[in-house]
Chains A and B, each alone.
Chain A
Amino acid sequence: QLQLQESGPGLVKPSETLSLTCTVSRGSISSSRHFWAWIRQAPVKGLEYIGSVFHNGDTYYNPSLKSRVTVSVDTFKNQFSLELNSVTAADTAVYYCARRVLSVGGPDYFDEWGQGTLVTVSS
């Protein structure tokens, strides 16, 4: 079964850049049926969709974060990455990578998730 694993620093200083990588195993990131997504969950808060990337590099970003976010893909390493710059305490959250299923005539949905990684923004 497909597995996703987030990696990256658990502590980032304010105004710096948060960088995370998601490694996809037991499956190919070059699938034509899937986008690869980042979703976060702030403490005691709900889920927020950050953005996603296709294997050809096409991206989608949540407009609320678009000015600060970059999502990229490395098909050779079977990985995709998140960069969020100019972070503040409000960016403290558990960050999940997930696989987004592209549905025909129906809703896309997230069918596989990483375990999540807590990133704290603090000096």
Chain B
Amino acid sequence: DIQMTQSPASLSASVGDRVTITCRSSQNIDNYLNWYQQKPGRAPKVLIYAVSTLQSGVPSRFSGSESGTDFTLTISNLQPEDFATYYCQQSYSTPWTFGQGTKLEI
């Protein structure tokens, strides 16, 4: 299975900050990388698919990029509703696998 390793595990930030979350795959996954946001007691919600394509309705302060097997989710101008846990997920090779999550806290 492809391992997805996220860093950091948790992150403290303030409203208005710019934060970056990294996800590293254990092997090449091309652009088969998606990002999800999960709030407590809620299901995950897709933010970005194919590394950098924003899902419909997702604010433009969210962006994604890649460098080899390293993938980055950037959130600019943090808003109160952005404090949540973020997961990366690869769908390059079955079984699809998720990162362990990054908890973004105030």
Q: Which of A49, A111, A115 contacts B95 (CB 8 A)?
A: A49
Stretch binding the partner chain, chosen from B14-22, B39-47, B76-84: B39-47
Within 8 A of B (CB), among A17-58: 46-49
- B: residues with CB less than 8 A from A are 1, 31-34, 36, 42-46, 49-50, 53, 55, 87, 89-92, 94-101
| Chain A residues with CB below 8 A from B55, complex form | 111
Q: How far in angstroms is the closest Cβ of chain B from A85? A: 19
State the CA gap A67–B100 with chains docked (Å): 25
- A-side contacts of B44, CB under 8 Å: 47, 96, 110, 113
Which residue of A60, A103, A113 is within 8 Å of B94 (Cβ)?
A60
A106 touches B101 (CB 8 A): no
Interface size on A, as a range, is 20 to 34
> B-contacting residues of A (Cβ < 8 Å)?
46-49, 60, 62-64, 96, 98, 101, 103, 106-111, 113-116
Choose from B49, B87, B100 the contact partner of A103 (Cβ within 8 Å): B49
Find chain A residues with CB under 8 A from B92 CB: 107
Could you say which of A46, A101, A108 contacts B100, with CB atoms under 8 Å apart? A46
Question: Given the complex, which residues of B lie within 8 Å of A115, measured CB to CB?
Answer: 42-43
Smallest CB-CB A-B distances: 5 pairs = A113-B43, A107-B32, A107-B91, A47-B98, A62-B95
